[in-house]
Amino acid sequence: MGGAKLLLALALVVTAFGLAACGDDEDDEGGTTTGAEDIGTTAEEGGEPILIKTHLEPLKNPEEATTGQVLPASSIGDSAFCRGGTFRDAPTQPPDEDIVRLFRCSNGTLTISFVPSGSGRKLTGDWEVVRGSGRHEGLSGGGRLKTVFVSNHGEGRETFTGKVTR
């Protein structure tokens, strides 16, 4: 019986590594995280893991709002998040440094806020849910974000990880 448990544990580890390698992080330049370790939550606190991956569109001029697409690997728990969705950042007014982002999905919207920090091509920070509508109504929670720019014109990829509850 002990050998069977060892084989099962080994199979689970190999499967986890295989799934982690299947992400669509082109030049993500970093490891993947579940998000729980980033925001200090535990399983006892409840909530579902959330993973939002985005592609930032290049900016045509510095005054325009950041826009982009939600990538297919995005999920809440075991369900896809915002498949085929887009997003747009609300205009910010100094001295407010919060960025407010509206995700437009076929089944509702989700608004989050975050304050990125860092310099150069990599930014990190905390994010939190502001409000949701449709399927995302009543969501609360947040986590960590990572942004990697691939051009000098604002084009890049973002990964938001964390936990949300309904």
Q: Is residue 21 assigned to a domain?
A: no
Domain of 41, in residue numbers: 29-165
Residue 102 has pLDDT above 70, yes or no: yes
Q: Is residue 44 assigned to a domain?
A: yes
Q: Is residue 99 assigned to a domain?
A: yes
Q: Is residue 16 assigned to a domain?
A: no
Q: Is residue 50 assigned to a domain?
A: yes
Per the structure, how many domains does the chain have? Answer: 1
Q: Is residue 116 assigned to a domain?
A: yes
Give me the mean pLDDT over the 131-137 stretch. 97
Q: Of 40-44, 45-49, 87-91, 147-151, which range is least confident?
A: 40-44
Q: Is residue 77 assigned to a domain?
A: yes
**Tens-place pLDDT, residues 77-86:** 999 999 999 9
Q: Is residue 23 assigned to a domain?
A: no
Long-range Cβ contacts of 53-57 (<8 Å, 24+ apart): 53/24, 53/25, 53/157, 53/158, 53/159, 53/160, 54/87, 54/157, 54/158, 54/160, 55/155, 55/156, 55/157, 56/147, 56/149, 56/154, 56/155, 56/156, 56/157, 56/158, 57/154, 57/155
Could you tell me the CATH number of the domain that includes residue 50?
2.40.350
**Tens-place pLDDT, residues 47-98:** 999 999 999 999 888 788 899 999 999 999 999 999 999 999 998 766 668 9
* pTM of the predicted model over 0.85: no
pLDDT value of position 28: 40
